C-alpha cells in the first residue's frame, strides 16, 4: 500500500451531547475512572465472573466520555476526520458500521478505558464535507493516517459492517500495524437488495437526514426494539435520535463502497487472529457471510451471543467488552 500524506491530529473542542437525559434519569455527576461512586459506571469488575453487571446509564456515560476524552481532528485528502481518544493502554480503534455514529460505541469505550486507548471517529463525509470520491482504498488510508499517530504500537480493531471491510483490508495489507481484528456481524462481501442499490445510487444527492426517509422509524423499531433493555426506554430513543441525524448523501456514497467490494479472495491470506462475534437477530444472508469468514480465515475464533440483536454495543456492551478483553490475553 502506498504511503499517505502525513497530517497531525489537532485537538478540538468537545461537542456537548444534545440529547438531554430523560426526566427521572440519574444526575450526570461524573467521577474520574477509579474514583468510586455510582457502580453503574463501573468499568470492568462487574462484567467479570458470573454476576450480571449493573445496567449502564447512557446519559452519564455519554457525558463522561465527552468530558474525559481527548477530542481531535485530522486533515486527510478531500475532507477532515474528527474523533476522540479515551483511556490508557494499547490502541483499540473502533470502525463503525455504515449508519452508526461514534456515539453508539461510547458504552463499550467506557468499559474498556482502563485496558485500552479507545479511538473513535466518524467516516469521511459524515461530519465534514467530502470533496473526493469514496473508495475502500481511501477508507483504509484514513485508518492508516489515524493509526500512524501511535508509531511502533500495534493496533487492535473493533469493527462491524462497513468497518469490517476496512478492518479486513487493513489486517491483510498491514499485519504488523494492525495485529488483531474483532468483527461483530462482519462480512467479506454483501449483496445489496434492489432498493438498497437504488438508494446507494440516487440517495447521494438527497438532502437531509435519514429520519426523513419514509418508514425509517418503523423499520428500526421492528428490527431492534425487542433487544434493548426493557427497563430503560430512553436507550432506544437515544439510538433512534443518533441514527436519525445521520446525513443521507454520504451514507449512500459509503453504501456504494459496500456494493463494489468483495474481499473473499483475501481471506485465506490473513494470518492475524480474527474474533468473529455473531449476534441473535442477524439476517440469514449476513449469517451465511459470517460462516464464510469462519471457514476461510486461517485464524478465526467464533463467539455466539444470544438475545443481543444487531446493536450489541448499546444493548449488551458488557458482553462485547468481556470478549475483547479475553481476546487480548
- d(Cα 3, Cα 213) in Å, to the nearest integer? 39
Q: Is the pLDDT of residue 78 over 50?
A: yes
pLDDT value for 99 = 84
pLDDT value for 55 = 63
Instruction: Answer whether 93's CB lies under 8 Å from 102's CB.
Output: no
> What residue has cell string 441473535?
280
Instruction: Answer whether 231's CB lies under 8 Å from 186's CB.
Output: no
Q: What is the mean pLDDT of residues 203-220?
A: 89
| Average pLDDT across the chain, whole number | 84
Torsion of CA 7, 171, 139, 215, to 10 degrees: -140
How buried is residue 244: exposed, middle or buried, by Cβ count under 10 Å (0-12/13-18/19+)? middle
Stated pTM of the model = 0.84
End-to-end Cα distance, the chain: 30
DSSP 34: T
Q: How confident is the model at residue 277 (pLDDT cuts 50, 70, 90)?
A: very high
Q: How confident is the model at residue 190 (pLDDT cuts 50, 70, 90)?
A: very high
- d(Cα 88, Cα 43) in Å, to the nearest integer? 13
Buried/exposed 146-185: b ≥16 CB within 10 Å, e otherwise? bbbbbeeeebbbbbbbbbbbbbbbbbbebeebbbbbbbbb
Q: Name the CATH code of domain 55-189+264-328 (choices 1.10.10.10, 3.40.640.10, 1.20.1740.10, 3.40.50.1820).
A: 3.40.50.1820
Provide Rg for the chain, Cα atoms: 19
Buried/exposed 203-241: b ≥16 CB within 10 Å, e otherwise? bbebeebbeeeeeeeeebeeebeebbeeebebbbebbbe
pLDDT value for 112 = 98
Q: How confident is the model at residue 111 (pLDDT cuts 50, 70, 90)?
A: very high
Q: What is the mean pLDDT of residues 191-210?
A: 84
Q: What percent of the chain has pLDDT over 90?
A: 62
Instruction: Answer whether 294's CB lies under 8 Å from 201's CB.
Output: no
> Which range has the worst mean pLDDT, 25-39, 75-89, 254-268, 278-292?
25-39
- d(Cα 324, Cα 88) in Å, to the nearest integer? 15
Q: What is the mean pLDDT of residues 15-36?
A: 35
Amino acid at each position: 500500500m502506498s504511503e499517505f500524506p502525513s497530517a497531525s491530529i489537532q485537538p478540538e473542542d468537545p461537542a456537548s451531547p444534545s440529547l438531554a437525559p430523560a426526566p427521572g434519569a440519574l444526575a450526570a455527576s461524573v467521577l474520574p475512572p477509579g474514583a468510586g461512586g455510582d457502580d453503574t459506571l463501573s468499568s470492568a469488575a462487574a462484567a467479570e465472573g458470573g454476576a450480571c453487571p449493573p445496567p449502564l446509564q447512557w446519559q452519564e456515560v455519554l457525558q463522561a466520555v465527552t468530558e474525559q476524552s481527548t477530542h481531535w481532528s485530522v486533515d486527510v485528502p478531500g475532507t477532515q476526520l474528527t474523533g476522540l481518544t479515551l483511556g490508557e493502554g494499547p490502541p483499540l480503534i473502533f470502525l463503525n458500521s455504515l449508519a452508526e455514529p461514534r456515539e453508539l460505541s461510547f458504552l463499550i469505550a467506557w468499559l474498556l478505558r482502563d485496558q485500552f486507548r479507545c479511538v473513535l471517529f466518524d467516516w469521511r463525509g459524515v461530519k465534514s464535507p467530502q470533496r473526493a470520491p469514496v473508495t475502500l482504498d481511501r477508507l483504509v488510508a484514513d485508518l492508516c493516517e489515524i493509526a500512524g499517530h501511535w508509531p511502533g504500537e500495534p493496533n487492535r480493531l473493533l469493527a462491524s459492517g462497513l468497518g469490517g471491510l476496512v478492518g479486513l483490508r487493513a489486517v491483510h495489507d498491514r499485519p504488523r500495524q494492525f495485529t488483531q481484528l474483532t468483527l461483530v456481524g462482519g462480512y467479506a462481501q454483501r449483496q445489496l437488495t434492489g432498493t438498497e442499490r437504488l438508494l446507494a445510487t440516487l440517495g447521494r444527492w438527497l438532502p437531509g437526514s435519514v429520519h426523513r426517509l419514509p418508514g425509517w422509524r418503523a423499520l428500526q423499531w421492528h428490527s431492534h426494539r425487542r433487544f434493548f433493555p426493557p427497563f430503560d426506554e430512553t436507550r432506544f430513543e437515544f439510538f433512534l435520535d443518533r441514527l436519525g441525524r445521520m446525513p443521507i448523501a454520504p451514507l449512500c456514497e459509503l453504501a456504494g463502497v459496500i456494493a463494489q467490494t468483495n474481499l473473499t479472495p483475501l481471506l485465506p491470506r490473513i494470518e492475524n487472529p480474527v474474533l468473529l462475534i455473531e449476534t441473535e437477530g442477524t439476517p440469514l444472508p449476513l449469517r451465511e457471510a459470517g460462516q464464510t469468514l469462519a471457514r476461510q480465515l486461517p485464524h478465526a475464533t467464533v463467539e455466539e451471543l444470544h438475545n443481543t440483536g444487531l446493536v450489541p454495543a448499546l444493548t449488551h456492551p458488557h458482553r462485547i467488552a468481556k470478549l475483547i478483553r479475553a481476546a487480548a490475553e
